[in-house]
Structure 1
Amino acid sequence: MSTPLQGSLLDGFGEVGLGALAGVQRTELGDGAWVDVLPGWLTGADELFERLANGVPWRADRRAMYDRMVDVPRLLCFYDETRELPDPVLAEARDALSAYYFEELGEAFTTAGLCYYRDGNDSVAWHGDTFGRGATTDTMVAIVSVGAARALQLRPRGGGASVRYPLGHGDLIVMGGSCQRTWEHAVPKTKRPVGPRISIQFRPRNVR
């Protein structure tokens, strides 16, 4: 059973909306990779969490690992460019990100992948988004987090020190440049009692 969401005192369950992107702070990671971070970009994030948790057609996937099938440790839903997003504010966020990063990215964000981390047992292992063009070219993946904060960790491919970003309650992180090829990211399991979190990953066409 998941731990109930404890709302942020700074966010509450108020009106859902977006702030200005001008406040993003960029960190150069090396090898052409960078991340932009903007805490609390989305206001009313706890309200949006409830709308998505109850309104998205979540699915539980299974995958082959070694010689057996295992449960994917999170719930999933993917919206390609032909599907209407499950909440109007997600379309607003996608369009705002597309406009802000268009000169640097050269194209719009078109898809949205949603992950529902129900508690500390849900996770995603180390990986890069290298299915499609992310394997060979620079691209961007923009993630908006609602619900309780969970740690998103990044580390260089091939080893090295990791960096950690606790993301939740409307925080934004954008991984850009060579990040998907030269770095990996993960949301590790935790034994600490944590509430549920939903991440929304906006990507350009043919990046997964």
Structure 2
Amino acid sequence: MQAVRPALSSSLWAREYLLLFMSVLLAIMLNQDMPCERIADIVSKETGIRVTRQTAERMLYEHRHLACCRLPIKIELQDHHKRARISFCRWAILKLEQGCGFIFTDEVSFEQENHSQAPNVTRPIGSNRFEYSRPPTEKMETIMFWGAIAYGYGPGPHHIWKKEIPAEREHLASILAAENELDKENTRVSREFARISGTGGFEYVQKLNREVQQLDREEPSVIYVQEKEAPTRVGI
């Protein structure tokens, strides 16, 4: 026996039906950060009732006390993040007292000749207007600007260069890939020679093994720890 869905003319039934599905989908939203638009789409498909984003947000707000908002891009600072920042500032103050300096850098890109509307161009009367036309959007260039500031120095150095076009980026990527493959092959060959007795690599590895074994016999309980001068910056 197939269940018959009541007539959709009953606004009360439709409201309760939607609330039921919103409650079921609530756990999905909390576990997967599902936006209200996605919940509204699922409810619309399951019930056959058109549900807008505003309706989903209002029902979540009124009946589940949930508000839809944009997710933050940066992570929330915890206590260990704040302690790391304070520790870094103390380290930086000591460095400043010792005469050291810090350089802060940043870069930004500018679109050259990127107009939303065609600008007016001055040209001689009777000249061919196509000789003074603007380049198409896909041929417009991007200019990169890099600058730096430091206490006691200014205005700081800056550099301006043009961003690579897609063809140049592909060419540089192919060169880098070829260099990486060559380095991998050289590493493989070096490892193979290091396993062959009588080669320089084999003698070098044997020498390192003898030195390590000698250190273990002389000071077996010593643990070598390499400390960093500056504390680690977490969550910055």
Which is strand-richer, 1 or 2? 1
Q: Which has the higher helix share?
A: 2
Do they fold alike, i.e. is TM over 0.5?
no
With a CA cutoff of 8 Å and minimum separation of 6, indicate the structure with the bigger relative contact order.
1
TM-score of the two chains, using structure 1 as the length reference: 0.19
Larger of the two Rg values belongs to structure: 2
